[in-house]
Structure 1
């Protein structure tokens, strides 16, 4: 029997009769496989698991911390200075490189560890029939041909073709996005039937909500629909983020510029006849000085601070740049079920022949009220009471509270009817007391209704309660109940109009009915038609999350388009989109709401424009989700994709940033995402956007602050070579300036509060460079001030009797003091330092104080003097330093005032 071929997921088992599938897979629909045959097939086909993702080894993680153009230059400079015998300089350079690598490695390790803590370690078990006996085995051991039993609460362990079923319903939202449990049976379907509509198949990873059945395993592991999505995830490209792209481009330009400047310096020195070794050393000093050694560490630490802030907001960042990417986002593509909505069916409206009630509260928590059209609590209404009793008593679901969270065991639709009854004071215990159940006619696909017989404790008689599809219940009813309980002629057209109006709002509508009977002898399937009294309609919806509407509005205010992409039906998706503010509630117009069928019919050349124009995409497949993300990226958008289902994973991987749900999200979705929301709250994304914008602002401030020093140091060295004079600053002094100021002062900008109105400005243009023309001009202005001031001070000190070491010490301190003054200006790139407030970022004060202590140490401690070639300087020199720094600060303030935005 082991000659059976492995059936791929694409095989059309749904178009074959059950007995044909049994023959194809050489199994038995009653006894299953033999244990021997199952073992042989397991050896042949392998375990029922998805292919493991190759992890990144420790050595690779360490080495990629050095993969940066500026780091390459520093490593080369360190090696060359060591070769020239400058061991102190070399040791300092290599120390800087190692610190940067250590910071990056530690943060990456922490992010992966945080995600690992979210992964479930439980193994799924499967009920399988082998040798005619049912046994429980690990789902990993399932093979094609295995006969698997499904019961309520089971997670489907593989792709199964059903051979028998009893009122089986399966929650496939994780795979297809369909929010309601799907009814399953053994009917043969056409080959073209899409996955979401294959009633005779159950798929790996989905959840049985009610009923049971037997199915033949037709695909395992990588061959399942889940495996196909896993393949799409692996094929989706992991894109560089806007920040990493900009930094990589910026670093390349900076590296080329530094090397060119160093080469010019060396060439000029040789042309002037200077010593080749001394000139080469000066060129190395220029390269080391011009490199912003603190930049990689500053980027990593600034992002890490953003990660820490997001962790406090219950978001786990897997990759550091992800927190910034949301700040660049121009489009958020969000799933509906469980992301914008609660993933908990809720009755919103109860219609009765006497009127209608709006139901407040959402989800499974029995908290809320039933209000009439005036907004007041609904008055006593017999038809309303019996509708609620029918929904709650003619019901096989159960409502339970676990850990402060209300859950429904069973069908979500029945759970919603339990909850609305409880809101009206008819909780499960009271319903059981009022109308204890005697007999049941279960729901079936043929009947399209469920009926139960109860004892009525109020009258000591018996009553039949029923619920089902509206048209079917109308066929079974011969009358309707008025608000006072009186029996009235059935107004069929009026009921149908009410049902159609509710359905047009995207609500799922069920009808309820009752009938008093003499006893159990009057309760039979054939006695129900035409005898019921219609009591009302209950219309339900998976409601939006409480904060979803405000979060969507905030995204729109920030200039970010929000698009819903769901596997659910168009009417349901449109209704939710109107409630959360994606649509304005009017006719959305052509092309604003598109279905999967619409997308399939759009020519490839028109697809990106259609994707950009539409706001809601319904009934889409995983491949179409991925295609939509790619199309939006082709239009120049930075796309964030949110989701929780397996079907979202390929698009999560392809998007600029994938955001998965931590509570309800599948492990596949979490593994594909860049960020995991542990509270599943869509509103957290708004906070992430704000945080990301703040992170990018602070990084820009750091770069704007640090580059003038690096450029100034390089130009000072170049000027010394050109004019044939002694170096105003030594290489070790340059490294001291670059590293200590970056850590003590520059990194304090990472704690800078977010700018006012940060969420009212539009997203950054993805093509906009890291530094604008205005900022480049400011950087060159400050660089010029540093070069002119330090050169003048160095020459002044030498001309007035200071030693070379003292003059260099004065020039070195000038760089640091100017940086300190300039740091306060860089706290905002547009507003005056005085308007920001001196103490709104107390870390700046701490950083400047620490740096001042360091400067006093390097200036006056003998050991530091020996190590760095410095010497003590007097009070007049400090006054000259402060005067130059104050003058430079005034010039920068004037430049900022001239360039400030005019309203």
Structure 2
């Protein structure tokens, strides 16, 4: 039996645990990388455009593909769309490619595309490849070349001079680029431009204009309200997307007038921004999870999701994967770490009888939850991958570590999922 399990990448470290596995009544699962792919991907974006009657409108696009593979389509009203037809999308792609310190690589051994750098920025890199705004012919490219083909074209168009790194006070980052444009008399002096990306509210607060096609229109309170309303919708809907606003500064300060040593001054350089668009991204659930949760329920096993994410994001993921159904009232079934701490011991014990989700929890909560479940006579399986998860993995009847997890987590567990 253990050999059959090993063939499916479930490495059993303790033989008696296999018997325990058959009696499991509750599975406490990590979210990131276990229930989800841990591959951030952009699934929506919007820009401004003019209607046939010359009225301003927000144009929303959907993006297909949920892994780091640089393949997918941009959809407008459900139909495939050529991004080069919208100058706003071209500028959005330029901003996503240049305001970015991450890249994509193809791993020959794993036969998969992998991130090099931050997951959020890699999601933007992949988006640029899907958008392919300069219609680059990719038919004869190797997988290594496919990883960064469209991004490379944009990087060749501009010269990145320096980056104003992200800081929490302004919640944004920017890059300063120059471009040498050809004039009739040869080469003109390079013109400077800045690309900005960051959390929507603070970036939009510093926007004085919006980009609509090739036009630059003044940002009005009404337009600002429209943008923030849609950002709020993206952030609180079924998907609970993480949103980033992208913009440009067409006439940035001269390089010699900027103090690059003092990050507190960066916010003064990132002003007079022209809003270009917003992208919404998520860490998508694994395709097989929904079916697995249904099968657990049919077998009488309760699945509890435990995550460090905020409660809204966690609830949205739970609805997507079937832990909660679409309209289920989550009161008494979903708790944040703080809400759980505010309960008395008796109330905590009672909460663990019905809970299906714990959000914003730390490792100490995990051990506590396992203790309460065991006091109710439950046989608990716990998944985890970090050093901090080790006590809970050890405490549960069966601890399951992820193959990509730390050695400490694997040592504390009875089983390792190698893939």
Question: For the superposition of Structure 1 and Structure 2, which TM-score range results when normalised by the shorter chain?
Answer: 0.7 to 0.9
Does 1:382 pair with 2:81? Answer: no
The structure with the greater share of residues assigned to helix is: 1
Query: How far does residue 536 in structure 1 lie from its aligned partner after superposition?
Result: 0.9
Alignment match, 1:609: 350
Q: 1:471 aligns with which of 187, 194, 201?
A: 201
Give the CA deviation at 1:565. Answer: 0.9
Q: In the superposition, relative to structure 1, how do residues 395 and 586 fare at CA in structure 2: closer, same or farther (>3 Å)? A: same
**Structure 1 residue 352, shift from structure 2 partner:** 2.0
User: Could you report, residue by residue, the CA deviation over 1:757-804 in whole angstroms, capped at 9, with x for unpaired residues?
Assistant: xxxxxxxxxxxxxxxxxxxxxxxxxxxxxxxxxxxxxxxxxxxxxxxx
| C-alpha contact 1:470 1:509 (8 A) present in aligned 2 | yes
Contact 1:596 1:620 (8 Å CA) reproduced: yes
Pairing 1:319–2:14 present: yes
Aligned counterpart, 1:442: 165
Is structure 2 residue 120 aligned with structure 1 residue 413?
yes
Partners of 1:579 and 1:565 in 2: how far apart? 15
Matched, 1:488 2:217: yes
2:389 paired with 1:675: no
The 4+ residue runs of structure 1 with deviation greater than 6 A are 457-460
**1:657 alignment counterpart:** 398
Larger relative contact order (CA 8 Å, sep ≥ 6): 2
Q: 2:46 aligns with which of 351, 358, 366?
A: 351
Name the CA distance, whole Å, in 2 between partners of 1:522 and 1:388.
28
Richer in strand (by share): 2
Q: Distance in 1 between matches of 2:72 and 2:318?
A: 23
Cα deviation for residue 634 of structure 1 reads 1.9
Match of 1:502 among 234, 258, 263: 234
Instruction: Specify the alignment match of 1:590 in structure 2.
Output: 331
Give deviations 1:467-492, integer Å, cap 9, x for gaps: 1121221122111122x332233211
Residues 558/376 of structure 1: CA separation in 2 closer, same or farther (3 Å cut): farther
How far did 1:523 drift?
8.2
Alpha-carbon deviation of 1:520? 5.0
| CA 1:606–1:567: 2 relative to 1, 3 Å | same
Structure-2 change in CA distance of 1:329 and 1:508 (3 Å): same
Question: Structure 2 regions of 5+ residues with no counterpart?
Answer: 49-57, 134-149, 183-187, 259-265
CA offsets 1:221-273 (integer angstroms, 9 cap, x no match): xxxxxxxxxxxxxxxxxxxxxxxxxxxxxxxxxxxxxxxxxxxxxxxxxxxxx
DSSP 3-state at the match of 2:390:
helix
CA distance in 2, matches of 1:501, 1:378: 26
CA contact (8 A) 1:595 1:620 kept: yes
- Structure label with greater radius of gyration: 1
| Offset at residue 677 of structure 1 (A) | 0.7
1:695-734 aligned at under 5 Å gives the runs none
Q: Report the aligned-residue RMSD.
A: 2.4
Offset, 1:313: 0.8
1:307 Cα deviation from its structure 2 partner: 0.4
Shift of 1:585: 3.2
2-structure distance, mates of 1:666, 1:348:
31
Quote how far apart the aligned CAs of 1:496 are: 1.0
CA contact (8 A) 1:434 1:458 kept: no
Q: Which runs of 5+ in 1 are unaligned?
A: 1-305, 680-903
For the residue of structure 2 that corresponds to 1:348, the secondary structure is strand
> For each residue in 1:529-580, what CA deviation from the matched residue of structure 2 results, as whole angstroms up to 9, or x when unmatched?
5422101112222222232222222222322211101122212222221221
TM-score, normalised to structure 1, is 0.39
Offset of 1:456 from its aligned partner?
4.3
TM-score (structure 2 length as normaliser): 0.82
**Cα distance per residue 1:396-443 (max 9 Å; x no partner):** 222222232323232222222112112212632122123332343332
